[in-house]
Structure 1
Amino acid sequence: MSRKVLVLNQDYSALTVCSIPKAFLLVFLKKADLVAESATEQLRSVSQSFPMPSVIRLHRYVYLPYKGVMLSRQNIFRRDGGQCQYCGKTEDLTLDHVLPKSRGGRTSWDNLTTACKRCNSRKGDLTPEEANMPLNVKPYKPSFVMFLRDFGGSIENSWVPFLGKKKEKTLVE
């Protein structure tokens, strides 16, 4: 049961993802409604079978002042598609500060990008413009829903209406 379940707030906005056992428990305890279920799989006990949740909606609204994506090495790599933003290479990857730290560059979503070791060494203590190494994509901070939809791996088809447009990396249910 490594699959995940999309958890919606009371207003149907995407809140988080959780495990199938956690989602089942929320539905069973009547703390959430089942919005979408797997068409092919069920959860079974000795004497009963239950629908396997794919999307659930909480009964109570959970107020989150800000739901952001944690800045981490793996999340930067995911955002950049696991490839160097200078040459497109997918091996020997590291992080590069677009504006070098020695020149006041901060460790932030907008200043970190994925680079192979060769390009990172070649760029050195310069900006991409000074090194004549243009970035393929300018670094940006993804929103939580964008991160779930675009960088969180495969998503269920039933999640698509709640996460927005992009539908390329979906799983067939």
Structure 2
Amino acid sequence: MGKVLVLNQDYSALSVCTVPKAFLLVYMNKAEMLAESRRQYLRTVNDQYPMPVVIRLHRYIHIPYRGVVMTRQNLFKRDGNRCQYCGTHDNLTLDHVIPKSRGGKTTWDNLATACKRCNSRKGDHTPEEMDMPLRQRPFRPSFLMFIRDFSGLAADEWLPYLGVKERSY
């Protein structure tokens, strides 16, 4: 079974949950179904129900700040599983753009995906010192941006709720 996009009462993206959890929220009248699967249904012995793809909660849930957890996998996803120096997909690791020995922090804004060869070549220098420009500057993705662009979970039915008109291939 797939995943379901959960929207807050104000239609902002709140989370992603399982189909059974989403169905239960709709069935218990805690949420409304905004989009359903065109191909799949939930079946019981006697009935057939539409499978939710996007639901909206009836009550507003206040979440102080929703950020993306900085993990190795999330950093690789942000950078498209490519070395940010040469563009290869092979032997990837993480590089501190400003080296730790020079006061560089382990943050979204200072970590970039790099292949072992480029990471070793750059060593204890900055990209500018080694004439190794980054393909993109490291950044902290927002929760919405991460679901939409990097998670690989977004179904076509989610896109209007994530600020995308249509999927670009």
CA distance in 2, matches of 1:58, 1:104: 45
- Equivalence map 1:28-47=2 (5 Å): 28-47=27-46
| Cα deviation, residue 167, structure 1 | 3.7
Q: Which runs of 4+ in 1 moved over 2 A?
A: 165-170
TM-score of the pair, normalised by structure 1: 0.94
SS where residue 139 of structure 1 aligns? coil
- Equivalence map 1:1-16=2 (5 Å): 1=1, 3-16=2-15
CA RMSD of aligned residues (A): 1.2
Q: How many percent of aligned residue pairs carry the same amino acid?
A: 63
1:15-56 deviations in Å (ceiling 9; x for gaps) = 010011110111111111111101121100111111100000
**Paired position in structure 1 for 2:103:** 104
CA distance in 2, matches of 1:28, 1:169: 34
Kept in 1, the 8 Å contact 2:41–2:50? The answer is: yes
1:99-138 deviations in Å (ceiling 9; x for gaps) = 0001000000000000000000000000000011000000
Distance of aligned partners of 1:141 and 1:91 in 2 relative to their CA distance in 1, 3 Å threshold: same
Kept in 2, the 8 Å contact 1:111–1:139? The answer is: yes
CA distance in 2, matches of 1:141, 1:114: 14
| Cα deviation, residue 168, structure 1 | 3.2
**Paired position in structure 1 for 2:113:** 114
User: Gaps spanning 5+ residues in structure 1: where?
Assistant: none
TM-score of the pair, normalised by structure 2: 0.97
